[in-house]
């Protein structure tokens, strides 16, 4: 089975509302690898790697987010194995520092 890697940007009220923790929980439950981090411009950035259907389902979940969030837009583009390697050693899915 092939693996999909997508880099996703989530815009809206997505910082300070538990979005990263929610996303980490959802991605882990879906068996995905990758990472999530806040960006200084107020958005959340994530990278998902795994079965294409699971990655697509995760991107769809990102459009809703946790109850306290408000998602205005979600964009995605193909990611790379090099970007996947930004996660912490030994972790399947990491919460990374803000950039």
Give pLDDT tens digits for 34-93: 999 999 999 999 999 999 999 999 999 999 999 999 999 999 999 999 999 999 999 999
Q: Is the pTM of this model over 0.85?
A: yes
Catalytic annotation, residues? 20, 38
Q: Enumerate the domain spans of the chain.
A: 4-87
Say how far apart CA 68 and CA 62 lie, in whole Å.
13
Q: Report the chain's C-alpha Rg in angstroms.
A: 12
**CATH class of the domain comprising 4-87:** alpha beta
């Amino acid at each position: 089975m092939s693996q999909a890697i997508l880099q996703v940007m989530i815009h809206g009220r997505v910082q300070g509302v538990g979005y990263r923790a929610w996303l980490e929980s959802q991605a882990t439950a879906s068996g995905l690898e990758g990472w999530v981090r806040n960006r200084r411009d107020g958005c959340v950035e994530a990278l998902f790697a795994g079965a294409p259907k699971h990655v697509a389902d995760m991107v769809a979940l990102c459009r809703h987010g946790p109850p306290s969030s408000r998602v205005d837009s979600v964009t995605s583009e193909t990611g790379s194995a090099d970007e996947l390697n930004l996660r912490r050693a030994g972790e399947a899915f990491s919460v990374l520092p803000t950039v």
